[in-house]
């Protein structure tokens, strides 16, 4: 998601994602909140990476967490400002180079780091997350691993329709470490006509067995691969 890459989640897709694809954040929220209970109890700060339209953010805020919510997509952040509630701060942050605020917990769902351009950028982002954690902090993320692509190796197409939007997505795995979604996006205008946008999302799949070795020695990783799982990495407490 560097400056020269076509932006992901422009305005129309951001709207569709918010209205039609909340299920992943909704499914992850109970487990994330359980993991973060000790952080909430001590009034710790949670930094959310890739907050999108604030679907998980709202759960965090409603549970009483202090949250800095970040994303690389300005249209997603615009929705989050309206939706997520009393967030301490909402800011644009693009991995892997933008600094991550020091935090007692870092959370990220929706395989955010898999949107980075290559494995080196993903490693850079994971190291930055581990280094941003305060002693005793917790990292809860999901990742797409190589088996995610293996399970979806046959090209396929899916479509979703609502009253005022529709999306058609072609899925492909051009190589063992790439998962691609090519999307045709349709949104109804106020006059009843329809407009179209197109986005291609390239996700880099990684061997999650290598993740612990890329974190600093102060981090003890417990991160496994599949997209739907939520996992934690605890930073060793300072003695």
Specify the pLDDT at position 224: 34
CA distance 198 to 126: 30
Using alpha carbons, select from 85, 80, 52, 53 the residue that is nearest to residue 66. 85
Q: How many other CB atoms are found less than 10 A from the CB of residue 188?
A: 14
Specify the pLDDT at position 227: 40
Per-residue pLDDT of the chain (239 residues; tens, 9 = 90+): 334 566 799 999 999 999 999 999 999 999 999 999 999 999 999 999 999 999 999 999 999 999 999 999 999 999 999 999 999 999 999 999 999 999 999 999 999 999 999 999 999 999 999 999 999 999 999 999 999 999 999 999 999 999 999 999 999 999 999 999 999 999 999 999 999 999 999 999 999 988 866 665 444 433 333 343 334 333 333 32
Specify the pLDDT at position 193: 98
Across the chain, where does the E strand assignment appear?
45-48, 66-71, 89-92, 103-108, 133-141, 156-161, 165-175, 178-188, 194-204, 219-222, 231-235
Could you tell me the two tokens for 53?
A: 């339209």
The pTM score is: 0.88
**Residues paired with 145 in a beta bridge:** 206
Distances (CA, A) of 84 to 29, 68, 119, 167: 14, 11, 31, 25
Q: To the nearest 5 percent, what fractions of the chain are helix, strand and coil?
A: 30, 35, 35
Name all domains of the chain by residue range, CATH numbers in brackets: 11-144+207-235 (3.40.50.150), 147-204 (2.20.25.110)
Q: What are the φ/ψ torsions at residue 6 (nearest 5 degrees)?
A: -65, 130
137: which residues sit within 8 A by CB, 6+ positions away?
44, 103, 104, 105, 106, 234, 235
């Amino acid at each position: 998601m560097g400056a020269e890459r076509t932006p992901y989640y422009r305005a129309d897709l951001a709207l569709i994602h918010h209205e039609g694809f909340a299920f992943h954040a909704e499914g992850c929220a109970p487990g994330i909140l359980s993991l973060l209970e000790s952080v909430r109890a001590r009034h710790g700060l949670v930094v959310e990476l890739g907050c999108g339209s604030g679907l998980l953010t709202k759960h965090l805020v409603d549970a009483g967490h202090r949250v800095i919510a970040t994303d690389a997509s300005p249209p997603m952040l615009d929705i989050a400002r309206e939706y997520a509630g009393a967030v301490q701060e909402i800011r644009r942050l693009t991995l892997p180079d933008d600094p991550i605020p020091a935090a007692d917990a870092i959370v990220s769902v929706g395989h955010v780091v898999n949107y980075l351009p290559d494995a080196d950028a993903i490693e850079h982002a994971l190291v930055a997350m581990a280094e941003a954690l305060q002693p005793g902090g917790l990292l809860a993320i999901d990742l797409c691993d190589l088996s995610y692509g293996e399970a979806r190796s046959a090209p396929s197409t899916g479509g979703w329709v609502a009253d005022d939007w529709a999306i058609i997505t072609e899925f492909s795995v051009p190589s063992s470490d790439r998962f691609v979604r090519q999307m045709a996006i349709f949104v109804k205008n106020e006059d009843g006509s329809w407009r179209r946008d197109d986005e291609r999302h390239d996700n880099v799949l990684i061997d999650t067995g290598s993740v612990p070795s890329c974190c600093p020695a102060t981090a003890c990783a417990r991160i496994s691969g599949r997209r739907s799982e939520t996992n934690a990495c605890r930073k060793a407490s300072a003695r």
